[in-house]
Amino acid sequence: MRTNNMKAILKAALRVVCILPFAAVVAFGQQTVNLTAGPTTVTLPDGSTVPMWGYSCGTVVTGGTATCALLNPLAAATTTTAATWSPVVITVPYVATGTSLTINLTNSLTFGANSVPTSLLIVGQLDAGLGTSATSTASPDHTNAQPLTWPIAADPPGAPMTGVGTPPAQGPRVQSFSTEVAPGATTPVTWTALRPGTYLIESGTHPSIQGPMGLYGILVVTTAPAGGVAGTAYPAVGTTVPAVTYNAEVPVLLSEIDPVQNNAVTAAVNTAGFTETAVWSGQPNQCGNPSSANYHTCYPPAVNYTPLYYLINGVAFNKTSPSSSLFPVSPATGVTGSVLVRFVNAGLRMHVPSIVGSVTTPAVVPTGTTAAAVSGFSLVAEDGNPLPGVSRVQSEVFLAAGKTYDVMVNVPTAAGATALPVYDRELSLSANAIARDAGMVAYISVNGSGLPAAPAFAGAIARPDTYNSVLAGQTLTVSDPGKGLIANDTNVFGVQVVGTVAGLTLNPNGTFTYLGPPTAFTYCANGAVTAGVCSSNITASVTLGAAPLEAGSGITMGNITYTSNATFLSIKPPGILAVDRDAAGYPLSVAPATAVASSGLTLSVDSTGAFNASVTTAGTYTFTYKAQNSQGTVSAASATVTLIFPAATGLSVTVLDGADKKTVIPDYRWIIEEDRTFYVNPGCTTNPPPAGCPTAASGIVPTFGTNFHTSYMPLVATGCTGPLSCESGQTIVDPATGTHVAAVCDVGDGVCRPDTTGNGFTAVLPSAVHLDPTKRYYLSVLPGDAANPFETANKGKGHG
């Protein structure tokens, strides 16, 4: 009995000994990070402050080895400043027997009475972290989709919108791809089998909104370098894929900001009655219409996403503070060998990063080849997947939205080597679409290397400006930043006026408008003005002087002749102004009330140089006009415009119903084009050709074809014949009275003109066209009621 008891005790002890190491491995592989999602702001190089949502690292878990840090260390709170927005990077030690990560996500996305849920995705890590309760919302009503997207099938103006037909059923729309965290709650999200590599972290709830708002970061699962021992980014896979080792690493996250969308989202979530599931619509009484009572109670349409700022690690490059874009590798000193650069594209646009001056020694080379240092970097892994085979060396790498790439470069060995520049070859190198030398530019510091010495990194200098362009009663507008106050400054990203100047509106980018007498003012560069004091102490003066007035003789007028093919002639801008010149280069317009037409000519002239003319009798007509420049100076001389209306050919056109071949259709739109195709006489198409045909001697019928050098078919004339084809019954607002007046909208460029005839349209028949009897022409017609079946769901008849 003693023997049996002893065996039982030994077995139990052995089990305990075996369990203890396993428990130690599980404890070591399990990591926990505290993360909070909440609203914040970011200040950009031009001084703009944009609302953001972002992740912030919480309290460090005791005993854990996973870390959470800001990619932009300067965004951390200090004793005098609050924390600002920055993406985060979470680093988790890799354990071959199982790497587990729990993120305790706290949702602080609360905006007064409103709040929104959020969630978390690790793109490329398909594990339990996604949860089992992804959410969706019902599809919007598509009943009226057809008339909205196909105007010809819509209702008449002013009538209620009604759908045509029954659109296909739409499935539910995804709201969240993973388990949501309710506002104010903290929910643990666990991944039990993380794979090594570099991954994008982002919100899984309304990702087209919450992603661009700033809810993204990086997850790195790795065996980091320590104590002089190289780290392992990716372990070996059998004997085919060797382990990827490195001596230092640096994350490089690329992203964008659309300030318009972010401000629109912020306005929405702070508006009473906001609901995140409401569908945006710009129709009357809908949440996207500024005149509606429920305006701003839904998210803006993400399809309009247009980024204007570009960032690396949450920093838009600022040449007045380039050290903000200097990112050291880890470890920061004593590094030899190779540096692993972890590229992550968290934006919605593609980017193509390149490392200037980088050198790499490929880890895997073709058999029989000795590895040697070459320019560029070696591609190591894509989306957390090691790349097999011979190392690929490139000078740049394409990153689609959400893409990650690990690349390897050698540690610079040259004495006095500076930091390695990184930039986007897609040229996202601006700020707010106007500021140069900004955007996706950064520097990788290895072993404490600093920024290169460059004149562009000098301090800001504001220089005086003079604009001798002030005219009495006219607004001086400088809308081009290249001609604004900042154009001649150095490293100035924003300006404010010091004091108050009546009639002046100064924009931060240096553009301005002014209405008033000659004056002068002072602006503050790269700072704020408080009680008349510039915080940066960088100022410059601006003189707005009187503009020298040009004499009327400085405007050269040119005569021009037009030949019409019908009794109505319409010329588009610049029209008659195309041959006029201003010696000083000022823009020209037709001087009001200066057009004088000859007898028998009905004429309307626009200030842009466009005009419409019509006659009842063929002949030659003229009118004169004067031009004026933007200073208000009227030309000393007049120009004469000659209009030739040849005698109409009298082409008789009768359009019949295609169904019965008898009913005459009087209302149609028509177009005549010159036929320049390869001509074959219909009487010469038999084989052999009859006598008198061009190829009768050879006995071969000419082959039909197109002369591609003259296949352009010039427009001869176009017109309409009735109220439907001429789109009658339209009105425009008379700016003089503010009332609607009858209009003719057959100009062809989307611009209507007042109807002086009272008909509501101007009919022009093909018979009024002059045609050359030596040429051939195409005639195309479109019945005015061709759209009737679309408007009535095939209940009404139309001619086609």
Phi, psi dihedrals of residue 345, rounded to the nearest 5°: -105, 105
Which residue blocks in 391-492 are alpha helix, DSSP H?
none
Cβ neighbours of 115 (radius 10 Å): 17
| Model pLDDT, residue 750 | 59
> For the chain, which ranges sit under pLDDT 70?
1-29, 127-129, 131, 146-166, 455-456, 703-711, 746-751, 790-800
DSSP string, 677-698: SPP--GGG-SSSPPTTSTTTTT
CA 358 to chain centre: 31
- For residue 533, the cross-strand partners are 530
Q: Which residues pair with 622 in a beta bridge?
A: 642
Residue 767, Ramachandran bin (φ over 0: left; ψ between -120 and 50: alpha; else beta): alpha
b/e code 415-450 from CB counts within 10 Å (16+ = b): eeebbbbbbbebebbbbbebbebbbbbbbbbbbebe
The answer to whether 260 touches 309, Cβ cutoff 8 Å, is: no
C-alpha neighbours within 13 Å on the C-beta side of residue 185: 12
How far is the first Cα of the chain from the last one, in angstroms, to the nearest whole number? 107
What six digits make up the tokens of 424?
């986007």
Q: Enter the tokens of residue 524.
A: 């503050």
Q: Are 162 and 147 in contact (CB under 8 A)?
A: yes
Q: What is the largest CA-CA distance in the chain?
A: 136
User: Pairing mode, if any, of strands 619-625 and 326-328?
Assistant: unpaired
Three-class secondary structure of residue 304 per DSSP: helix
Distance separating alpha carbons of residues 109 and 268, to the nearest angstrom: 13
pLDDT confidence of residue 25: 40
Q: Which of 219, 246, 242 is nearest to 232 (CA)?
A: 246
The two counts, helices (H) then strands (E), for the chain are 5, 56
Residue with tokens 């003789």: 553
Q: How far is CA 498 from CA 478, 524, 533, 692, in A?
A: 19, 6, 7, 89
**Cβ-contact 37, 55 below 8 angstroms:** yes
Identify whether the C-beta of residue 576 lies closer than 8 Å to the C-beta of residue 560. Answer: yes
pLDDT at position 532: 92
Query: Is the entire prediction scored with pTM above 0.75?
Result: no
Matching residue, tokens 């005790």: 9
SS3 85: coil
Which pLDDT score, from 0 to 100, does residue 23 have? Answer: 42
Interval 647-660: pLDDT, tens: 999 999 999 988 88
| Geometric angle at alpha carbon 586, from 583 and 587, rounded to 5° | 125
| Size of the chain in residues | 800
Cβ distance 282 to 400 under 8 Å?
Answer: no
The helix or strand, by DSSP H or E, that contains position 394, with its residue range, turns out to be strand 392-394
d(CA 219, CA 99): 13
Q: Report the distance separating Cα 291 and Cα 288, nearest Å.
A: 9
Angle at 507 between CA 503 and CA 512, to 5 degrees: 50
Residue written as tokens 């791809």?
A: 177
Q: Regarding beta strands 374-375 and 359-360, do their DSSP bridges make them parallel or antiparallel, or are they unpaired?
A: antiparallel
Cβ–Cβ contacts within 10 Å for residue 708, how many?
8
Per-residue pLDDT of 149-198, as tens digits, reads 666 666 655 566 665 566 777 888 889 998 899 999 999 999 988 999 99
**How many whole angstroms separate alpha carbon 560 and alpha carbon 571?**
12
pLDDT for the residue 8: 47
Domains of the chain: 23-235+272-295 (2.60.40.420), 309-457 (2.60.40.420), 465-546 (2.60.40), 552-645 (2.60.40)
Strand partners, 236: none
CB atoms within 10 A of CB 373: 10
pLDDT computed for residue 242 by the predictor: 87
- Residue 181 and residue 187 in contact, taking contact as beta carbons nearer than 8 Å: yes
The pLDDT value given to residue 115: 96
In this structure, are residues 109 and 53 in contact, taking their beta carbons and an 8 Å threshold? yes
CB 337 within 8 A of CB 373: no
pLDDT at 238: 79
CA 245 → CA 229, 248, 404, distances in Å? 10, 9, 18
CA of residue 133 relative to chain centroid, distance: 34
